């Protein structure tokens, strides 16, 4: 009997001791989750995404389909809730739709170039029996001029698209970086903010201006010299054309290397310093402030967690917007470049060498536009990623 009483007593003690703690722990977890959601929503409501919304609206319906939303703030909330992964199928459908649209839009131009080039080749082959040499040269010049006009029209459209894309990227930097730096400063990353500010200003100001005012004009000069060099064998501008191409690559490589090296060293060093400072402040608050120190430290952790969640969500949404912005022009440039190479390969047996050399040369020059877009995009991408990961080490 005594053993039974002892067993019942021990079971009662076990229930009294452990069950309430489990219930309280669950209640505390729910309360923390509710407080975190409230803090996240209150901070999110205070952020101004008006510039971001105007950029998303300017992208058009096709790119908005890639982005998965017509509103930047809605995309941020999807990232916060973890719902953005569900948009993968929609992204792939929008991507292939955009790809086929861009390819089909270039088919009429490529067919026209092929037809004119083939007619020019046929006329050149039969000119000895029916027309004089001077008439044949005039016909060739007219056909070549038509091909040049068609190619110039396409290249001009792509150049305008590239310039507009770089302007959109600059606008994205102008609204993304202030929000991210403000949120980082709000969680104590003051040193990191001071380290990133000059790099951000350099990227959104100096590097973008270099691409717009130096790289793109170099593409124009190189493109024009390529046309002139293919008009006549007596005009030799091949080396000058290659100089502009190599100069473009050198400028971008040097700029990219210096920027990424400076940004990485400064950002990671400052992030480590901020992490130590924040942890020291939390320890001092918890240890030396009587009674309320632990509550203040826990509240500080809650505010930091909500700010970091918002900052990372804004950063991820910005990266998705970046990818969606550059996909359309890159697809169109690659499609035209591949199309011109394909046409030059098909018409080579039946047409003049000048035409095939011109088309192949233009296809290689179009890669300069892709390099310009990718250079700005990749530096923007690295900057956003460092801003995301730097403050994650504060905990």
pLDDT value of position 158: 92
| pTM of the predicted structure, to 2 decimals | 0.79
Distance CA 216, CA 160 (A): 10
pLDDT value of position 334: 92
Contacts of 235 (CB under 8 A, 6+ apart): 228, 229
Q: What is the arithmetic mean of pLDDT over 121-129? A: 68
Q: Share the mean pLDDT of the chain.
A: 75
pLDDT band at 85 (very low <50, low <70, confident <90, very high): low
Distance CA 172, CA 174 (A): 5
pLDDT value of position 335: 92
Task: State what percent of residues in the chain have pLDDT above 70.
Answer: 68
pLDDT tens per residue across span 357-368: 888 888 888 888
Distance CA 32, CA 9 (A): 35
pLDDT value of position 393: 55
Alpha-helical runs (H) found in the chain: 2-46, 50-59, 61-67, 72-81, 88-130, 133-186, 190-201, 208-210, 216-231, 238-288, 293-347, 353-365, 367-390
Q: At what angle do helices 2-46 and 72-81 cross, to 10 degrees?
A: 170
pLDDT tens per residue across span 350-393: 887 888 888 888 888 888 899 889 888 888 888 888 777 776 65
Distance CA 294, CA 184 (A): 23
Question: Using an 8 Å Cβ cutoff, are 272 and 391 in contact?
Answer: no
pLDDT value of position 342: 92
pLDDT band at 140 (very low <50, low <70, confident <90, very high): confident
Of the two residues 256 and 163, the one the predictor is more confident about is 163
Q: What is the arithmetic mean of pLDDT over 37-64? A: 74
pLDDT value of position 27: 43
pLDDT value of position 157: 92
Q: Which of 26-35, 102-111, 294-303, 339-348 has the lowest mean pLDDT?
A: 294-303
**pLDDT at residue 325 above 80?**
yes
Distance CA 96, CA 66 (A): 10
Q: What is the arithmetic mean of pLDDT over 329-353? A: 89
Q: What is the arithmetic mean of pLDDT over 63-83? A: 76
Question: Using an 8 Å Cβ cutoff, are 362 and 223 in contact?
Answer: yes
Which of 331, 377, 315 shows the shortest CA–CA distance to 103? 331
Q: What are the boundaries of each domain within the chain?
A: 53-106+164-394
Highest mean pLDDT: which of 87-91, 185-189, 217-221? 217-221
């Amino acid at each position: 009997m005594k053993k039974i009483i002892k067993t019942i007593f021990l079971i009662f003690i076990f229930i009294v001791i452990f069950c309430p703690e489990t219930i309280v722990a669950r209640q505390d977890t729910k309360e923390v989750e509710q407080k975190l959601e409230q803090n996240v929503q209150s901070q999110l409501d205070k952020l101004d995404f008006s510039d971001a919304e105007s950029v998303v609206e300017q992208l058009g319906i096709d790119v908005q389909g890639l982005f998965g939303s017509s509103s930047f703030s809605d995309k941020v909330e999807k990232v916060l809730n973890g719902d953005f992964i569900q948009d993968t199928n929609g992204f792939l459908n929008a991507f292939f739709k955009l790809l086929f649209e861009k390819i089909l839009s270039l088919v009429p131009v490529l067919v026209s170039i092929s037809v004119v080039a083939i007619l020019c080749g046929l006329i050149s082959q039969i000119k000895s029996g029916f027309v004089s040499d001077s008439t044949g040269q005039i016909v060739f010049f007219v056909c070549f001029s038509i091909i040049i006009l068609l190619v110039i029209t396409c290249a001009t459209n792509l150049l305008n698209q590239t310039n507009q894309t770089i302007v959109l990227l600059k606008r994205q930097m102008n609204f993304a970086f202030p929000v991210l730096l403000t949120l980082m400063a709000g969680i104590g990353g003051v040193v990191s903010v001071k380290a990133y500010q000059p790099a951000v200003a350099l990227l959104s100001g100096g590097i973008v201006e270099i691409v717009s005012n130096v790289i793109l004009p170099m593409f124009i000069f190189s493109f024009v010299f390529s046309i002139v060099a293919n008009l006549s064998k007596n005009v030799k501008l091949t080396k000058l054309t290659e100089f502009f191409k190599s100069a473009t690559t050198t400028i971008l490589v040097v700029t990219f290397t210096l920027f990424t090296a400076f940004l990485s060293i400064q950002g990671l060093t400052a992030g480590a310093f901020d992490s130590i400072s924040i942890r020291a402040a939390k320890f001092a608050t918890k240890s030396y402030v009587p009674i309320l120190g632990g509550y203040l430290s826990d509240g500080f952790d809650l505010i930091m967690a909500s700010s970091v969640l918002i900052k990372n969500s804004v950063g991820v949404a910005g990266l998705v917007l970046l990818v969606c912005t550059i996909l359309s022009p890159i697809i169109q440039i690659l499609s035209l470049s591949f199309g011109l190479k394909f046409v030059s390969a098909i018409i080579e047996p039946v047409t003049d060498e000048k035409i095939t050399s011109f088309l192949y040369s233009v296809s290689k020059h179009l890669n300069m536009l892709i390099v310009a877009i990718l250079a700005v995009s990749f530096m923007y991408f690295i900057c956003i990623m460092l801003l995301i990961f730097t403050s994650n080490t504060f905990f």
